[in-house]
Amino acid sequence: MRKLILTYIFFLFSAMAFCQWAPLGAKWYYNHYAGASPYLSVIESIKDTIILSKSCKVLKAYTLYVAGTSPGVYHWDTLHCQDQYTYEENNKIIKIHS
């Protein structure tokens, strides 16, 4: 019986962790191409924090893009954005403005 209860508790906590907004390590990739040079935006959930008594996710965002240095010469570069702080409330994701 004790083993069954421990198994149930383990699955309960696992399910709670899986269903949360932006679990740590989650990454989203957005590929852009609208007739211009291609670029890729990446958003990653990097850590949890508490802000104003709310449990928040810290999201790191950056963009990889092609930059032309001279005619016919291109290289990939990265544009890092400011970290974003978000939390979930009533099935909505809310950004904390800084």
The whole-number pLDDT of residue 71 equals 81
How far is Cα 11 from Cα 8, in angstroms, rounded to an integer? Answer: 5
The whole-number pLDDT of residue 46 equals 94
The whole-number pLDDT of residue 98 equals 62
Domain total for the chain?
A: 1
Q: Give domain status of residue 4, yes or no.
A: no
Token reading at 39: 């670029």
For the full predicted model, state whether its pTM sits above 0.85.
Answer: no
Q: Give domain status of residue 11, yes or no.
A: no
Give yes or no for a contact between 49 and 85, defined as CB atoms under 8 angstroms apart: yes
How far is Cα 51 from Cα 63, in angstroms, rounded to an integer? Answer: 26
Q: Give domain status of residue 5, yes or no.
A: no
Q: Give domain status of residue 41, yes or no.
A: yes
Q: Give domain status of residue 81, yes or no.
A: yes
For 74, the domain range is 23-96
Q: Give domain status of residue 29, yes or no.
A: yes
- Helix, strand, coil percentages (3-state) for the chain, rounded to 5, are 20, 55, 25
Ordered per-residue pLDDT tens for the chain, 98 residues: 455 444 444 443 444 444 577 889 999 988 877 776 678 889 999 999 999 888 999 999 988 888 777 787 877 888 888 999 999 888 888 888 76
Q: Give domain status of residue 30, yes or no.
A: yes
How far is Cα 34 from Cα 21, in angstroms, rounded to an integer? Answer: 30
Q: Give domain status of residue 9, yes or no.
A: no
